[in-house]
């Protein structure tokens, strides 16, 4: 188990060429082994076919020289053929001629018997062991013209056998030659595969070299020309990721520029008010300067909090989960109720579908909804009305904030939601970040922020809508 784990770890760390070699070599070795086994099987079958023809010739020569003309069973052995047969067999040749009753028998009486009953006139070949040596035998049975004297047998059995050393030597030579040939082919195949892979992977090496030579801030697309088709999807994915990174870097640069400008304005104002307070001699003027200083500190704190919320909405990890929208609406309304009471604004919830459950990042949506409600309270006149409600359908869910304030012109509704963009009727103290935060969070949910005119009279209707997550 440890060896397999070490091998898998080594395979993960290996280069693509090494991985292919480690995967291909055992497969090629197995195929070569199988081919050698089949070659040996075919060589043995070919040797048996060739040598069995000689064995059958000797069998038929003996059978042709069997005679019962003298009244007994006689055989005139073809010695010249036996001598030639022994030369080709590289060993001793054995024969046996016997009547079916076993009373008349010539040659080697203890030759191994055939494995089964022989059909008349059909030669049978089989392997056996004779005096500890492997032999190949041919057996043949046929009817006699007459019954030999002193015997009742009506048929005769002829057996001829030879040592298998010659066959085995032929097969070994054939397999050895095939093994040398296959080893050479395997070596050439591995070398050819390595050269082909090196040539095929050359575009990847060029691509890696070009990427390494790039500057750290070079996020241009990687050219796909000349790359293999299998690599292009990877390069396309890298280019998409680089495009997203470029967009993120641009957003961060824009955020830093906006944040530095906003905070620099607050700091400049604070410095001027502090200098004025130090120069003032009248306690009333000092008091007024300190009040202005405190108000500016409050605005700077609010600005910093919104900037942090805006940065968090762009970069925080997205963690969607199921939750009830009614509970979110009540929580935001209770948090901002003191602010609404201070302006004598009626902040309330409109009844919707009870127990409506949505899937989203609850913390981010709470931030977005809080900014929309705070904006509505800020721009709605005293004794006005701000209403919160939620809806849902088969396509997705929506959070709604309606107020009966002055509303916005259509051209303003089209541009609001961009960072540090404020409406024409905006008073002092705003920074143009609340709607930008809400829009950013809606986009994180693949949704949108819509600003519409209120259907029943003057006012603004802000909607955050996002789709249901894709199945699977």
- Where does the pLDDT of residue 280 fall: very low under 50, low under 70, confident under 90, or very high at 90 and above? confident
The answer regarding whether domain 227-315 maps to CATH 1.10.3470 reads no
The pLDDT assigned to 257 comes to: 65
Q: What is the CA radius of gyration of the chain?
A: 50
Domain spans, the chain: 1-215, 227-315, 318-467
Q: What integer is the mean pLDDT of 30-34?
A: 83
Among candidate residues 104, 103, 124, 106, the one with its CA nearest the CA of residue 115: 124
Q: Which of 5-14, 142-151, 233-242, 421-430 has the highest mean pLDDT?
A: 233-242
The pLDDT assigned to 302 comes to: 62
The pLDDT assigned to 410 comes to: 67
* Coil, helix or strand at residue 79: helix
Whether 249 has a pLDDT exceeding 90, the answer reads: no
Residue 32 parent element (H or E): helix 16-64
pLDDT digits over 189-229, tens only?
878 877 877 777 777 777 778 777 878 777 778 777 777 77
pLDDT digits over 330-366, tens only?
999 998 888 889 889 999 998 777 889 999 988 888 8
162-166, 296-300, 319-323: the lowest-pLDDT one: 296-300
Distance CA 351, CA 348 (A): 10
- Where does the pLDDT of residue 78 fall: very low under 50, low under 70, confident under 90, or very high at 90 and above? low
pLDDT digits over 123-141, tens only?
999 989 888 888 889 998 8
* Sheet strand arrangement including 385-392: 346-349, 385-392, 396-403, 460-467, 448-453
Among candidate residues 351, 363, 355, 359, the one with its CA nearest the CA of residue 313: 363
**Predicted structure pTM score:** 0.44
Domain 318-467, second-level architecture = 2-Layer Sandwich (3.30)
Q: What integer is the mean pLDDT of 6-32?
A: 71
Looking at per-residue confidence, does 134 or 102 come out higher?
A: 134
The pLDDT assigned to 426 comes to: 45
Q: What integer is the mean pLDDT of 289-309?
A: 68
pLDDT digits over 363-406, tens only?
888 888 888 898 888 888 998 999 999 999 989 999 999 998 88
Q: What integer is the mean pLDDT of 242-257?
A: 74
- Token pair for residue 411? 């051209």
The number of residues making up the chain comes to 472
Contact, 400 vs 463, CB < 8 A? yes
What phi and psi, each to the nearest 5 degrees, are found at residue 49? -65, -40
The pLDDT assigned to 430 comes to: 43
The pLDDT assigned to 328 comes to: 92
Distance CA 450, CA 391 (A): 15
């Amino acid at each position: 188990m440890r060896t397999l784990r070490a091998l898998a770890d080594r395979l993960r760390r290996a280069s693509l060429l090494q991985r292919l070699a480690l995967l291909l070599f055992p497969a090629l070795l197995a195929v070569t082994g199988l081919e050698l086994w089949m070659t040996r099987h075919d060589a043995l079958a070919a040797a048996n076919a060739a040598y069995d023809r000689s064995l059958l010739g000797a069998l038929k020569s003996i059978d042709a020289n069997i005679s019962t003309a003298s009244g007994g069973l006689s055989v005139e052995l073809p010695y010249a053929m036996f001598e030639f047969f022994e030369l080709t067999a590289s060993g001793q040749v054995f024969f046996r001629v016997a009547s079916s009753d076993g009373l008349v028998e010539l040659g080697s009486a203890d030759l191994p018997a055939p494995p089964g009953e022989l059909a008349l006139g059909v030669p049978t070949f089989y392997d056996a062991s004779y005096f500890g040596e492997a032999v190949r035998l041919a057996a043949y049975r046929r009817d006699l013209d007459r019954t030999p004297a002193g015997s009742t047998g009506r048929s005769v059995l002829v057996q001829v056998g030879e040592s298998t050393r010659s066959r085995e030597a032929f097969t070994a030579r054939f397999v050895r030659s095939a093994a040398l040939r296959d080893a050479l082919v395997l070596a050439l195949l591995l070398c050819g595969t390595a050269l082909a892979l090196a040539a095929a992977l050359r575009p990847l090496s060029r691509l890696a070299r070009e990427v390494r030579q790039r500057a750290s801030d070079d996020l241009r697309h990687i050219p796909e020309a000349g790359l293999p088709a299998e690599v292009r999807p990877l390069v396309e994915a890298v280019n998409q990721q680089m495009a997203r990174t470029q967009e993120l870097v641009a957003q961060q640069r824009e955020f830093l520029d906006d944040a530095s400008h906003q905070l620099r304005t607050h700091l400049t104002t604070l410095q001027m008010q502090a200098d004025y307070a130090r120069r003032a001699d009248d306690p009333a003027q000092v008091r007024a300067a300190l009040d202005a200083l405190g108000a500016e500190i409050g605005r700077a704190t609010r600005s910093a909090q919104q900037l942090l919320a805006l940065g968090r909405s762009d970069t925080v990890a997205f963690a969607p989960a199921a939750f009830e929208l009614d509970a979110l609406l009540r929580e935001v309304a209770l948090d901002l109720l003191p602010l609404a009471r201070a302006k004598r604004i009626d902040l309330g919830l409109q009844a919707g579908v009870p127990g409506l459950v949505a899937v989203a990042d609850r913390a981010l949506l709470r931030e977005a909804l809080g900014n929309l409600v705070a904006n509505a309270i800020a721009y709605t006149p005293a004794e006005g009305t701000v209403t919160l409600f939620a809806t849902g359908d088969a396509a997705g869910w929506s959070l709604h904030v309606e107020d009966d304030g002055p509303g916005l012109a259509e051209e303003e509704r089209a541009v609001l939601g961009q960072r540090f963009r404020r409406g024409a009727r905006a008073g002092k103290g705003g920074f143009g970040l609340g709607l930008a935060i809400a829009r950013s969070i809606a986009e994180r949910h693949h949704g949108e922020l819509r600003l519409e005119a209120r259907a029943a009279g003057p006012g603004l209707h802000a909607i955050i809508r996002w789709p249901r997550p894709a199945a699977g």
